Structure 1
Amino acid sequence: MQPDDVRAVRMWAMNVGAYNFAFAFGLAVGLLMVNTGNAAGGTSIVLFCCASHVFLGFWLWVTEKRLWTSAIGQALIPGLAIVFYLLLG
């Protein structure tokens, strides 16, 4: 990375970090809701977060093929969670 690129990369990294934190918070709240009596609402939040990461992993692959391993890493576990929910839920 060139010194002139630090500002742009920092802005991008901070934005990605913020949305990752938001999704992690959403998952935590959804799981808390599932386990404290609001199963329908909590399940909806968890499934939304998982589906979003499946989409974002796919979109990462579409927009930057070189990051295919990161795309798989982003989409695989949430995708499996959705599949298991559909099969076992």
Structure 2
Amino acid sequence: MSVVAQVAVVVAALVHVVVWICEAFLIGRVHQSMFGQPAQDVPAIRLWAFGVGFYNLFLACGLVAGLVALHTGQELVGRTLIFYISWFMLAGSVVLAVADQLALSRKRNSAWGGVAAEGIPPLVVLLFA
């Protein structure tokens, strides 16, 4: 796997770790700036955000496990994990883009930063692997 793809794996994992921390533990602080949710909605979304935050952590862990496998002689296992999770993340960014266009939680065209952060690193992985 190319160096560019491996760097993109690390970037994708880091993005998902940051989002895990924000969703699972800092939702009361980042609700408006990161997710466009007013303070009065935080109690209603806290459980959802906690769970989704951990999904992001598990995705990051899968990418890290794939890199470890790749570098410890288990190339097929590593590539399989990295490809599957990269496709999963890319599909998640498409779902976020669709939700944004449907204005499901805030006004339309306000989630493109999240779409890019979630989708570009795994797309780079898939293009350069």
User: TM-score, normalised to structure 1's length?
Assistant: 0.86
* SS class of match (2:73): coil
Deviations 1:8-32 (A, max 9, x none): 2211211221011000111111111
Deviations 1:31-89 (A, max 9, x none): 1111111100111001111111110001100011321221111100110110001xxxx
Distance 2:44 2:93 in 1: 22
Q: Which runs of 5+ in 2 are unaligned?
A: 1-37, 102-109
Partner of 1:22: 58
Partner of 1:62: 98
Matching of residues 10-89 of structure 1 within 5 Å: 10-65=46-101, 66-85=110-129
Across the aligned residues of Structure 1 and Structure 2, the Cα RMSD in angstroms comes to 1.2
Distance 2:57 2:45 in 1: 18
What letter matches 2:88 in structure 1?
A: S
Q: Which runs of 5+ in 1 are unaligned?
A: none
Kindly indicate which of the two structures has a greater share of residues assigned to helix: 1
